[in-house]
Structure 1
């Protein structure tokens, strides 16, 4: 009993709806150039300004031709975002399933496909975000690696204790608050807007924060998420004006020779990283050696860290 109205367009839409339900990093990643993607292997050129616009003073008493200066020529170059990531799904549901059950099985399978691809994409985006803290990444300002390293250091705060804390002292929770206040100052000094700030956190981080909040916390400082407020994936509440996003997909780094740690990304808005994706093809077919309906699809995507200097980080020891 083959499934009727087996339309690829419908299943492609279902895949996209499931894809958007399981992500953390893509929430604060822009898709400004997604419309330019046509096929796997495309390269999208992203304009980048290299010269500031001069702000002058209008002289209303001067001669008409001298009240403002001649227009400046906009200077810039371009970065390239390669659409070089290719993922596929391919599954079938046998005809022996009951007619009323088969659509549900197809929907469940498409859900698994969407969540699986989304998890893969989020892991890929983690690496793109992490490039902002690689002093060999060419988009970080500075004529040499030492200058880039100084720039990275200015955007990073290290917590000197691990997330293993005692319930009464709450050492990690206190140190996390101290680190976040330093990060707020660094971002404000760089003219990063206050609204829309976010921080990715590891489950270990949340554990240390909640242990502190249980004994000495304040809702004015930390507001945990509630059932009603969990509207976006990974949302874990607000801390000192930062929207917290919890994920186990956090870079593992070496803090010292004896201690590994987590790197937690912080930022504002979605300007730092741009992402583009497209379902290149969704096809429905009848496998030759079975009595079943099958769906296969190709999903292509790519991303670029276009403004790494707008990304900050908190680093802390692992539990």
Structure 2
């Protein structure tokens, strides 16, 4: 259907686009296994079992070799999402901006947001729920929940580097409530694409906020080591063509991806009751 609001009026040189949630989780995932991610493929990830440490002296200063063992984890590329739209030639002719580019960006943003929601749901589903010392009801108790997440990390011997957490708007609002020193986004050591959503470094965590977490009405926060979440993605097909039965340009694309929590012991989360 044509964009009828454009006829016969002149279009503005600017396009009003919809706000979409900034993507966070895909940028914080482990993508070293990506390779050739195509629909239906499986990425095989090999893990190793820890080597036993023995008391050499107690064994009479003799030693025997152990057989090494490994574990296998499958990262299934089982998510397939598409977009398909056309822009009528008449609409495009009246619009000074490039409508096709604007709608293509909208499709890309939508695919990225879909991925973020998928990954955040995986973390919540497969991680460990932490019982906080007290519910998070203000800035101080929200800080203590982060402290309890850090404690859980330490108890599981999770390395201090590459720890991250993402909080939803309800939890982030508690951090914003009392202590402005938490809001040092300009000092965060992050990439430019994530900086606007960053709270900087808090209690060993690189910290972020996002509304792509599953819970949107109660405070929720998830913390993990970046190696714990594997993600593989590819835009498998993009096709530009002329639409049938219309004077219009058509664009469609297919995004295939998969994600898996490959270190569940390195993922912890808390959600308000």
> Do both proteins adopt the same fold according to a TM-score greater than 0.5, normalized to the shorter chain?
yes
Question: Shorter-chain TM-score: which interval?
Answer: 0.7 to 0.9
What is the aligned partner in structure 1 of residue 85 from structure 2?
91
- The answer to whether residue 110 in structure 2 is matched with residue 116 in structure 1 is yes
> What do residues 78-135 of structure 1 show as CA deviations (whole Å, max 9, x unaligned)?
1222211111111222323349946x222111110011111111111112112224xx
Asked whether the equivalents of residues 198 and 207 of structure 2 are also in contact (C-alpha less than 8 Å), the reply is yes
Instruction: Give distance in 1, aligned partners of 2:132 and 2:84.
Output: 44
Instruction: Give distance in 2, aligned partners of 1:239 and 1:109.
Output: 38
What is the aligned partner in structure 2 of residue 212 from structure 1?
178
TM-score (norm 1): 0.68
For residue 272 of structure 2, give the secondary structure of its aligned residue in structure 1: strand
Asked whether the equivalents of residues 139 and 174 of structure 2 are also in contact (C-alpha less than 8 Å), the reply is yes
What is the aligned partner in structure 1 of residue 158 from structure 2?
192
Q: What are the residue-to-residue correspondences of 1:23-62 with 2, within 5 Å?
A: 23-37=23-37, 39-49=38-48, 51-55=49-53
Instruction: Give distance in 2, aligned partners of 1:57 and 1:100.
Output: 77
Asked whether the equivalents of residues 199 and 267 of structure 1 are also in contact (C-alpha less than 8 Å), the reply is yes
- CA RMSD, aligned part only? 3.1
Q: What are the residue-to-residue correspondences of 1:258-273 with 2, within 5 Å?
A: 261-268=218-225, 270-273=226-229
- The answer to whether residue 158 in structure 2 is matched with residue 158 in structure 1 is no
Asked whether the equivalents of residues 31 and 275 of structure 1 are also in contact (C-alpha less than 8 Å), the reply is yes
The match for 1:304 among 250, 260, 269 is 260
Q: 1:100 to 1:173 in 2, by over 3 A?
A: closer
Q: What are the residue-to-residue correspondences of 1:161-310 with 2, within 5 Å?
A: 161=135, 163=137, 172-214=138-180, 219=181, 222-226=182-186, 231-233=192-194, 234-252=197-215, 261-268=218-225, 270-310=226-266
For residue 129 of structure 1, give the secondary structure of its aligned residue in structure 2: helix
TM-score (norm 2): 0.78
For residue 35 of structure 1, give the secondary structure of its aligned residue in structure 2: coil
Instruction: Give distance in 2, aligned partners of 1:92 and 1:251.
Output: 32
Asked whether the equivalents of residues 117 and 214 of structure 2 are also in contact (C-alpha less than 8 Å), the reply is no
Name stretches of at least 5 consecutive residues in structure 2 with no aligned partner: 1-20
Asked whether the equivalents of residues 124 and 269 of structure 2 are also in contact (C-alpha less than 8 Å), the reply is no
For residue 132 of structure 2, give the secondary structure of its aligned residue in structure 1: strand
Name stretches of at least 5 consecutive residues in structure 1 with no aligned partner: 1-20, 134-151, 164-171, 254-259
1:311 deviates by 0.7
Residues matched between the structures, number = 247
Instruction: Give distance in 2, aligned partners of 1:198 and 1:26.
Output: 13
Q: 1:80 to 1:196 in 2, by over 3 A?
A: closer
- The answer to whether residue 38 in structure 2 is matched with residue 77 in structure 1 is no
Q: 1:230 to 1:200 in 2, by over 3 A?
A: same
Asked whether the equivalents of residues 121 and 213 of structure 2 are also in contact (C-alpha less than 8 Å), the reply is no
Q: 1:67 to 1:110 in 2, by over 3 A?
A: farther
